[in-house]
A = this chain, B = another copy of it.
Amino acid sequence: MSLITVGTVAFDDIETPFGRAEKVVGGAGLYSGIAASYFADKVNLVSIIGGDFPKSELEYLNEKNIDTSGIEVIEDKKSFFWAGKYHDDMNGRDTLATELNVLEDFDPVLPESYKDSKYLLLGNLTPEVQAKVLDQVNDTKLIVLDTMNFWMDIALDALLAVIARVDVLTINDEEARQLSGEFSLVKAAEKILTMGPKYLIIKKGEHGALLFGEGEIFFAPALPLAEVKDPTGAGDCFAGGFIGYLASTDDISFENMKRAVIHGSAMASFCVEDFSIKRVKGLSEFEIKQRLESFRKLSHFDLDA
């Protein structure tokens, strides 16, 4: 099934306890688009870049069946840029620089060929931009929205309005607490599920992810890894793997959403193993299958001997 992912395609400077990378490609749209492309037949990417973004990267995306006709190019401006430094525990990070550049002008116009897509992933952007994309799709089957505390702080009303229009919300545990005013994630989920979405995914980074919906809870662990080099993009790869799997199976039952959460977790586990998109770029079908099997072995048990 056809799928749209919306999000930044950008440059990052990243410093972690395990190294640094300068002016590497990144952005929620890039990470989620690549992750989704391993499962979905075709990914329709919506973004905006400057003249400085390497054409070779776009060609790579096209080879992976990612349609880039929805990426607006502003030749005389620069791409969005983010610089961050991760704490020693890799859970926290400080933003060292944010240059909006082309993002200041982002007014997404979907190509006609995108508009009948059944699956839509709205990556973390201003709620207004997310709403503008929602206004242009015709008849979706599932809309996933990713956002962050920043928008809860400065644009809560606009964010709540867009949250009310989606099917699945993905946020982290602290954001779920902030949005709901509840400390218990179970209570937070109950409250958030009255705001519009039918499903809530709470991302807990190295502690896994929780899926709430239909009165059920499913937990997907994060794969314990010997080396985590760079967490950047893990949440986006999770979201991309999640919706990519759902689009490929065209089945939005809770049972299939569980599988989708595991597929998302698998893509996130690859993502953190190297800087930028290095690790998620060239995965083989066999590697992905093996990784999914690792998740199964990690979490399965028989209650009866």
By a beta-carbon cutoff of 8 Å, the part of chain A in contact with chain B is 17, 88-89, 183-187, 190, 204, 207-208, 210, 216-221, 224-228, 249, 251, 255-256, 258-259, 261-262, 292-293, 296-303, 305
Give Cα distance in the complex from A299 to B302, angstroms: 11
Q: State in angstroms the CA–CA spacing of A300 and B258 once bound together.
A: 9
Q: How far is the CA of A219 from the CA of B262 in the complex (A)?
A: 14
A255 to B303, CA, bound (A): 10
**Docked pose: A297 CA to B219 CA in angstroms:** 9
Say whether A184 contacts B227, CB under 8 Å: yes
Given A224-B185, A255-B302, A305-B251, residue A207 in contact with residue B210 (CB < 8 A): no
Verify A208–B221 contact, CB threshold 8 A. yes
Copies of this chain, tallied across the complex: 2
The smallest C-beta distance from A155 to any residue of chain B, in angstroms, reads 26
Cβ of A247 to closest chain B Cβ, rounded Å: 14
**Chain B residues near A17 (CB, 8 Å)?**
183
Contact A297 B186 (CB under 8 A): no
Residues of B within 8 A of A217 (CB): 224, 298
CB-CB under 8 A for A218 and B301, given A207-B204, A207-B207, A210-B224: yes
Residues of B within 8 A of A228 (CB): 184
User: Which residues of chain B are within 8 angstroms of A88 by Cβ–Cβ distance?
Assistant: 183
- CB pair B186–A224 under 8 Å, yes or no, is yes
Decide if B210 touches A219 in the complex (CB within 8 Å): no
Closest partner residue, chain B, to A202 (CB atom): B224
Residue numbers in B under 8 Å from A297 (CB-CB)? 216, 218
Nearest chain B CB to A4 CB, angstrom units: 24
Give CA–CA (A305, B297) in the complex, Å.
17
A277 → chain B closest CB, angstroms: 22
Query: Taking the nearest CB of chain B, how far is it from the CB of A258, in angstroms?
Result: 4
Report which of B185, B259, B305 forms a contact with A302, defined as CB distance below 8 A. Answer: B259
B219 lies within 8 A of A249 (CB): no
Cβ contacts under 8 Å, A225 to chain B: 184, 186
B224 touches A262 (CB 8 A): no
